[in-house]
Structure 1
Amino acid sequence: MDFTFSGEQQMLRDSVSAFLLKHYDFDKRNAIVRSEAGWSRDVWGQFAELGLLALPFAEDHGGLGGSMADLIAIAEPFGAHLLAEPYLASVMLGGAALAKAPDGSSAAEWLEKIMTGEAIAALAYEEGAGTPDPAMVGLKAAKTADGFALSGEKRMVLSGRDADVIVVAARGGDGKLALLTVDPAAYGLTITPFATIDGRRAAHLRFDTVALPTDALILDDAETALRSLLDRAILALCAESVGAMGALLKQTAEYAATRKQFGVAIGTFQTVAHRLADMKIAYSKARATLLYTTALIDAGQSGAKDIAILKGQTGKLGREIGEAAIQTHGGVGMTDELSISHFHKRILANDALLGNAEYHLRKTGTL
């Protein structure tokens, strides 16, 4: 297996990094996060023009047919710049679920709008169990004369307030897992929005016998498709975290080289030097696991254990790097004025999504 980016992937990575460096520095990003929307439609439009929103979708769906390695090439810079825009929610979760619909489905119209940046999608999946296991989905989709009726709750729906279409995972009358599209304005649907610890927008959803037409059904036996979708979303999530780890390592090393105590840089102190070395080892290990798992997925050789190892290690090592960065910076590292605390929050938030490190490491038998 080749674990290096191709020339085209490196060019893509460099162009995304250059765009974010110019238009998405820390101060601009904070202004975006503090705005009412919490993300920038201008930046989102630029992503659409660059083809980033269409990148992971198959050419048959009008996408660019990018590989997971292509996606990782842009996801790491997203993490390094603390992207607040709903790429994970709309493209990797909601959009990916719509892409599972059979040919001729009304979901194709939504998918086209998502790739052009005209619409935002969300996936309502989590129900408070804190795991990515589809077996934990309990929301009911009762069959009716005119279609379906949804009853139950969904938690932590990324971009749940902003979505133009919501894809809901629910149990049909036969007990099989189904995917259905829901209009956010549907009668009986209550959306409770909030901001996550790292500044992204999410919502809790409550369905009180929400009536859906028959054509709202995307898949009536969706467990295999959903597992595949979540594996790829976990990979993108881990790539963001690895990008944030790299930024923490770089900024902490620069700080240790310039911050002086007793007339010398603190990086010359043995304790600090050892801490920086541990950070570099942790980052290298996390990134190596990310690249290896990406290669496995693209080669069609990945399994559930590979995804669990990646998610578990990324969460565990990311927490260690974040804590070491804050400790090196001292009290100022915990304030909102520096990006250090924001990177740590992003890593912690990513760890909590789709099963935390403890959950995944227990699955592998290493905890």
Structure 2
Amino acid sequence: MDFALTDEQRMLEETLTRLVADQVSPEQRRAMLEASAQEASPLWRTFAELGLLHMPFSEDVGGLGGDGTDLMIIMQALGRGLVPEAYLYGLVMPGQLLALCANPAQQERWLAPMLEGEHQLALAWQEHSARYDAFDISTQARQQDGQWQLNGRKDVVMNLSHAAATLVTAQLPSGKVGLFIVPADTQGVTLRTYRTMDDQPAGDLTLNNVSLPFDCCLSEDAQDALANVLAQGRAALCAEAIGAMETACDQTLAYLKERKQFGLPLATFQALQHRMVDMHLHLEQSRSMAILAATSLSLPADERDYKIAAAKAYCGESARFIAEQAIQLHGGMGMTEECYVAHYAKHLVMFDHNLGDSDYHLETVSDQLDAA
């Protein structure tokens, strides 16, 4: 198959590469991580001006109609620069659920301002005992006194501290999956925020007799939409991991060429050359799997989920391998904050746990093969 990019896609890739190189140096990234969560960063406003916030959404909801390949290009560029903006968790995933489930009034209230860069959202789907299963839900929602009442807890909600509102999944009395939007200032909501291992903002969300008006219910049957969005999120994560793996390989090779031992560059030692080859083999095989994931989003659900699970499992194993090799080839300094490859390594290790780890997705692949 021909996987060559179109002229427009090449322009998008070149523009993003220049933007990330100019605005996300290690020092600039550190400043972004330390900045207040109350207002949009200059980089996020630039994303809005360039139309990057509109790109992944259909024209029906005010987007630019980008497909899986366009999203892959964006996420690869963000991964190469280790960009700390919550493009996936604060925009794409909650935004796609709004596009699929919300009525026009709800989209006008929450989706349209988000596409203009005015706020970000979060998606709370993960629970403590569910082990990555988005449909093993203990959070409950029921109607009472003309309102919806929610009780439960969601764990590891990405971008929680930066979100103007959080989309929450809950089990309805009918047995179906409900989807609700909970504004940040809602009474009865408790947040415990923290940073993940790779410095991404996250938190746990507790809902204690939270009362919501009926117009905060986005859907009373959101299972298919949630599965669609999780598949898109996993494909996007694979693309982001490719970008991070590329940079980790490049930085490691540059270090081996510069660092000398016994009067010779480390890159001249055959054993280390073999390890670099292994890193690049994992990278290129993962790139093929990421392309498979990006081009599978329009397939029927069973085939889509099978291929994306295979891609996520393989990319997760490769990401951990490249992270470990990069640290070892840098030696002791590879573990320090000052060595930038350490930040890529932490991000790649964390990638394997986001939206399901390798073991979880291998089980999905195995179950699909057994069923076939």
For normalisation by structure 1, the TM-score amounts to 0.96
**Shift in alpha-carbon separation, 1:38–1:218, aligned structure 2, 3 A:** closer
List 4+ stretches of structure 1 deviating above 4 A: 298-302
Structure 1 partner of 2:309: 308
**Shift in alpha-carbon separation, 1:290–1:203, aligned structure 2, 3 A:** same
Give per-residue Cα distances to partners, 1:239-280, cap 9 Å, x unaligned.
Answer: 111110000111111111121111111111121001000000
Task: Report SS of the residue matched to 1:106.
Answer: helix
Give per-residue Cα distances to partners, 1:61-92, cap 9 Å, x unaligned.
Answer: 01111001001111001011111111111222
Letter in 2 for 1:128: H
The whole-number CA distance in structure 2 between the counterparts of 1:134 and 1:29 is 32
The whole-number CA distance in structure 2 between the counterparts of 1:40 and 1:117 is 7
Task: Report SS of the residue matched to 1:143.
Answer: strand
The whole-number CA distance in structure 2 between the counterparts of 1:317 and 1:249 is 12
The whole-number CA distance in structure 2 between the counterparts of 1:240 and 1:87 is 11
Give per-residue Cα distances to partners, 1:212-250, cap 9 Å, x unaligned.
Answer: 001111111110110000000111111111110000111
Give per-residue Cα distances to partners, 1:103-150, cap 9 Å, x unaligned.
Answer: 434233210011000011111111124644332122101111322100
Structure 2 partner of 1:113: 113
Decide which moves more: 209-218 or 88-97.
88-97
Matched residue count: 366
The whole-number CA distance in structure 2 between the counterparts of 1:137 and 1:305 is 22
The whole-number CA distance in structure 2 between the counterparts of 1:78 and 1:38 is 22
Question: Is the CA contact (8 Å cut-off) linking 1:142 and 1:172 kept in structure 2?
Answer: yes
Residue 322 in structure 1 maps to residue 329 in structure 2:
no
Structure 2 partner of 1:60: 60
Give per-residue Cα distances to partners, 1:171-215, cap 9 Å, x unaligned.
Answer: 111110011111111110001111111111111110001000011
Unaligned runs of 5+ in 2: 368-372
Question: Is the CA contact (8 Å cut-off) linking 2:132 and 2:360 kept in structure 1?
Answer: no
Decide which moves more: 271-280 or 26-35.
26-35
Structure 1 partner of 2:127: 127
Counting aligned pairs with the same residue, the percent is 34
CA offset at residue 21 of structure 1?
A: 0.3
Give per-residue Cα distances to partners, 1:1-59, cap 9 Å, x unaligned.
Answer: 43222221111011011011011111211222133439961111000011111111110
The whole-number CA distance in structure 1 between the counterparts of 2:35 and 2:41 is 12
Residue 277 in structure 1 maps to residue 277 in structure 2:
yes
Residue 144 in structure 1 maps to residue 144 in structure 2:
yes
Question: Is the CA contact (8 Å cut-off) linking 2:13 and 2:74 kept in structure 1?
Answer: yes
Letter in 2 for 1:224: D
Structure 2 partner of 1:196: 196
Structure 1 partner of 2:297: 297
Structure 2 partner of 1:87: 87
Task: Report SS of the residue matched to 2:75.
Answer: helix
Question: Is the CA contact (8 Å cut-off) linking 1:38 and 1:199 kept in structure 2?
Answer: no
The whole-number CA distance in structure 2 between the counterparts of 1:70 and 1:63 is 13
Structure 1 partner of 2:241: 241
**Shift in alpha-carbon separation, 1:132–1:231, aligned structure 2, 3 A:** farther
Unaligned runs of 5+ in 1: none
The whole-number CA distance in structure 2 between the counterparts of 1:328 and 1:344 is 12
Question: Is the CA contact (8 Å cut-off) linking 2:40 and 2:119 kept in structure 1?
Answer: no
Task: Report SS of the residue matched to 1:203.
Answer: strand
Question: Is the CA contact (8 Å cut-off) linking 2:245 and 2:319 kept in structure 1?
Answer: yes
Letter in 1 for 2:224: T
Structure 2 partner of 1:179: 179
Decide which moves more: 243-252 or 91-100.
91-100
